[in-house]
Structure 1
Amino acid sequence: MYAELRAQLDTLTTEAFRPELAEIDRQSTLDIARAMNAEDATVPAAVAERLPEIAAAIDAIAARMARGGRLVYAGAGTAGRMGVLDASECPPTFNTDPAQVIGLIAGGPSAMVKAVEGAEDSPELAAADLTALGLTEADTVIGISASGRTPYAIRAVAFARDRGALTVGLSCNADSALAAAAEHGIEVVVGPELLTGSTRLKAGTAQKLVLNLISTLTMIRLGKTYGNLMVDLRASNEKLRARSRRIVALATDAPDQEIEAALTATGGEVKQAILVLLARVDAATAARLLTESEGHLRAALTAAP
């Protein structure tokens, strides 16, 4: 069994050994830092090569979510943590329901801070986690795995596909089993790591960049922004309340007194407040226009009297 696993790892770019770095521990800290920084600088170019596949996946995801579907990330270890991180940032940034973008990590929430032995090798766990969500055809499941061979991620994608959900496989090796299992395969090949097999480095960075693209552009397509302003953010603390006022000001150029009045009238809803100020309608009319425009502020402005 272990001989077979070792043979599999030997074929993966992310696991490749780099002889030129064999004595890196004898270098100065600054030289090691420069070497690592140079490695990191190659990641955006690797992501750029996959932008057509990423864009195609985003358009498909947005179409499903516009019908009420959910976006589900599924991965193990670092890959799973990246998914949970991206999902957890969507409610405060885009005012999404916490159940709209979901991060699943093999082994459950405790695996975020402590490794759960064997969880990534369990396809049964993936099936159980997704069964609990009650997947529908409107949902999307993104399996994340640096190697592209993690059983948890592959099973998550296969399970979701069997139920008609949209599937995406994100890996950092070419010709991966994960990409093959998904409708949309995204393989960002970042090459061997500075530390052999430590895929929390370049591979983890690549996954973070791709997930940023997927969630952000999907939300743009769903009308969660106005230009490059986060008009659907949830003001849950003083910093975000200050940001809400600033976003309304940038979008409308209205005086502070009018901005405060609009935010008060709309219960702090940034998008609605902008519509009140730009269209010169009351809060109730703004709410109705946004509902009729499925939350798209530009469309609501066009439809305003």
Structure 2
Amino acid sequence: MSVTTEGVGQRFRGLDTWGTADVLEALWAGQDRAVAACLAVLPALTAAVEDALPRLEAGGRLIYVGAGTSAVLAALDGLELGPTFGWPRDRLKLILAGITDLTVGFDGAIEDDGDEGARQVAATGCDARDVVIAVSAGGRSAFTCQALAEAARRGAQTIAIACTPMAPLFEGARHTVAVLTGDEVVAGSTRLGAGTAQKAVLNLFSTTLMVRLGATYDNLMVNVRIDNVKLRQRGALMLVRITGCDEAGALAALDRAGGDVKVAALLLTGHTPEGAAHALARAGGRLRAALEDPDHAARQGSAARRT
């Protein structure tokens, strides 16, 4: 099997003459191979996450770079971090070649403009605290390659994700993630297997990063932005699980905390709103550390004696 995204797989010749069920099975098999290919890059992702942690703990930003389908996937991963994990809007940058309005698609010509990629990275003022993730299925987009090179020149952590080995995008990158998905069922259509693999790799990287940064307690997304009825209910159920309170008490605490699940958990276990904020600050925003703090245990004991 070829390891490039542009190969023409002989086993798919005559695809346009196949029946619907056969086309679907071939496409499914391509997706299955793409996901399986992600297993081999877990060590590379581990190293990238560990390197990113101290930079982001010091206030750095996540900066995503891409062109074409890769740009759309990068944008999707980045934009989901705020609602799901409370990642601050001002610490996320999206540098997407030729995309200003997704409803009209993207200008493919910008993908060839390497100088524009470098210029857009420079305009962010990125530095050694920032983490720059560049995604390109074939690893050759001039926009993406030069954007990553500029980020590296400025001292940022650079992560290159591509679906082919020896990609130009990997040159000078601090971390390289080569997820080898092979020939596409529809030759060169990297929205298929390569797109699936890129989405999976981005999810793996960013979700693990958020877990390590304290955006979860157990496997609960306690940093979620509660901005609708569904999420308010989800937040209450998390509080029931974390503190053992009833649902009515959880909803009341959530309202007192302004929708902040972590603050609400601390309110339910003996803190005032101000004390909860200070406890979380001492714990670096990590709910588990705040709950396990000796001072917090003393507050719980005091609250129990008052009742």
State TM-score, norm by structure 1.
Answer: 0.93
Cα 1:38–1:117 change in 2 (3 A) is: closer
The amino acid that maps onto 2:285 is: G
**1:90 maps to what in 2?**
81
**1:298 maps to what in 2?**
288
Q: How many Å separate the matches in 1 of 2:123 and 2:286?
A: 32
Is the CA contact (8 Å cut-off) linking 2:3 and 2:182 kept in structure 1?
no
SS of alignment partner, residue 15 of structure 1: coil
Q: Does 1:204 align with 2:198?
A: no
The aligned runs of 1:9-28 (5 Å cut-off) are 13-28=4-19
Q: How many residues are treated as equivalent by the alignment?
A: 294
1:224 to 208, 215, 227: 215
Task: State the Cα deviation string for residues 102-126 of structure 1 (Å, max 9, x = none).
Answer: 2221013236742303111111111
Task: State the Cα deviation string for residues 36-63 of structure 1 (Å, max 9, x = none).
Answer: 1111111222100010001110111122
2:170 to 173, 176, 179: 179
Is the CA contact (8 Å cut-off) linking 2:139 and 2:170 kept in structure 1?
yes
SS of alignment partner, residue 37 of structure 1: helix
Per-residue deviation, 1:23:
0.6
**1:289 maps to what in 2?**
279
The aligned runs of 1:1-305 (5 Å cut-off) are 13-110=4-101, 113-277=104-268, 279-303=269-293, 304=296, 305=298
Is the CA contact (8 Å cut-off) linking 1:80 and 1:105 kept in structure 2?
yes
Q: How many Å separate the matches in 2 of 1:111 and 1:269?
A: 31
Q: How many Å separate the matches in 2 of 1:112 and 1:63?
A: 37
Alignment RMSD:
1.5
The amino acid that maps onto 1:269 is: D
SS of alignment partner, residue 63 of structure 1: helix
After the TM superposition, which parts of structure 1 deviate over 6 Å for at least 4 consecutive aligned residues? none
Task: State the Cα deviation string for residues 151-210 of structure 1 (Å, max 9, x = none).
Answer: 111111110010111101000001111122301000000000000000010100011001
Cα 1:193–1:112 change in 2 (3 A) is: farther
Cα 1:84–1:179 change in 2 (3 A) is: same
Structure 1, unaligned runs of 5 or more: 1-10
Per-residue deviation, 1:32:
0.8
The amino acid that maps onto 1:258 is: G
Q: How many Å separate the matches in 2 of 1:111 and 1:143?
A: 19
Q: How many Å separate the matches in 1 of 2:119 and 2:200?
A: 28
State TM-score, norm by structure 2.
Answer: 0.92
Q: How many Å separate the matches in 2 of 1:56 and 1:129?
A: 27
SS of alignment partner, residue 171 of structure 2: helix
Cα 1:88–1:214 change in 2 (3 A) is: same
Per-residue deviation, 1:261:
2.3
The amino acid that maps onto 1:170 is: I
Q: How many Å separate the matches in 2 of 1:125 and 1:299?
A: 44
SS of alignment partner, residue 203 of structure 1: helix
Is the CA contact (8 Å cut-off) linking 2:122 and 2:151 kept in structure 1?
no
**1:7 maps to what in 2?**
none
Is the CA contact (8 Å cut-off) linking 1:61 and 1:71 kept in structure 2?
no
Q: How many Å separate the matches in 1 of 2:246 and 2:102?
A: 48
The amino acid that maps onto 2:107 is: V
